Amino acid sequence: MTGALLLALSPLAAVADGWQTHDGWAGLFDTHEAEGTLLVVDKRGETVQTWVHDAERARTAFVPASTFKVPHTLFALDAGVAKDEFQRFAWDGVERGVPAWDADQDLRTAMRRSTVWLYQHFAREIGEADERRYLELIGYGNAEVGDNLEHFWLEPGHLAISAEGQIDFLDRLYRHALPFEEADQRLVKDLMISEAGSDWILRGKTGWSGELGWWVGWVEWPSGPVFFALNIDTPNRMADIPKREAIVRDALRDVEALPPAS
């Protein structure tokens, strides 16, 4: 199935005309002094509700940065480059400026620490042809690999995806509707857990290109999931990083998709 057809059949595409601009979120972005977009798709009721701040930007594709670790992990598992969450990958001894990366890794630590070198290893092992095949198979963004296998999802990479595309992918992962083993999809969902309460689970993945910050994922309730995808400009670089989760958490509390802050 082509990427275009997958997008056309996606639940998000079907409700795109029903997006509602959330009046309060412009003030939320102003409060955090951030420029960007936030798309939230609430599937807890019989009717899907979709809220957005800056709909045009929500449909604009950007480099996914480390949010690509979510599908990339599926590629690695399917290709047999990673066996399971217990397999250890030896650090090569090269210091890359992030102390948490300077150690052996497994899938769980690599997802939590966003360990770029391990996913560059996966890219080399998977190879350009299969990376492109996987991207086209799931209709992920523009499915472009370009000429730099170790950086195609990083700045300045060729791969690009919109907030809308991120949620389309996450919705299929949530439903185990991607063309991968269900066990692998369940594992990746487990690796994404950020926080949980008695009746909800927050799964997400951050990303940062240097110029753009992402946070994508969903909150899982017994009544259904609430998906979110945010990207913001980061002109102040590291100083802007905390704004990603701060904005999303405030917005999710606003629509009662997260409990009130303690």
The tokens describing 43, both together, are 């599937």
Element holding 207 (H helix, E strand): strand 201-208
43-102 pLDDT tens trace: 999 999 999 999 999 999 999 999 999 999 999 999 999 999 999 999 999 999 999 999
CATH topology of domain 3-254: Beta-lactamase (3.40.710)
- Indicate the pTM of the whole model: 0.93
pLDDT band at 2 (very low <50, low <70, confident <90, very high): very low
**The pLDDT of residue 17:** 58
Is the sign of the CA dihedral 135, 38, 116, 158 positive or negative?
positive
Calpha distance 24→169 (Å, rounded): 27
pLDDT band at 262 (very low <50, low <70, confident <90, very high): confident
**The pLDDT of residue 1:** 35
From residue 162, give the alpha-carbon distance in Å to each of 126, 229, 230.
24, 9, 10
Percent of the chain with pLDDT over 70: 94
Q: Is 262 a catalytic residue?
A: no
pLDDT band at 12 (very low <50, low <70, confident <90, very high): low
Give the chain's mean pLDDT.
94
Determine which one of 10, 66, 114, 209 is catalytic. Answer: 66
212-227 pLDDT tens trace: 999 999 999 999 999 9
Quickly count helices (H) and strands (E) in the chain.
11, 7
Q: Across the beta sheet with 212-221, what order do the strands follow? A: 20-21, 49-53, 36-42, 224-233, 212-221, 201-208, 193-196
Domain ranges of the chain: 3-254
100-109 pLDDT tens trace: 999 999 999 9
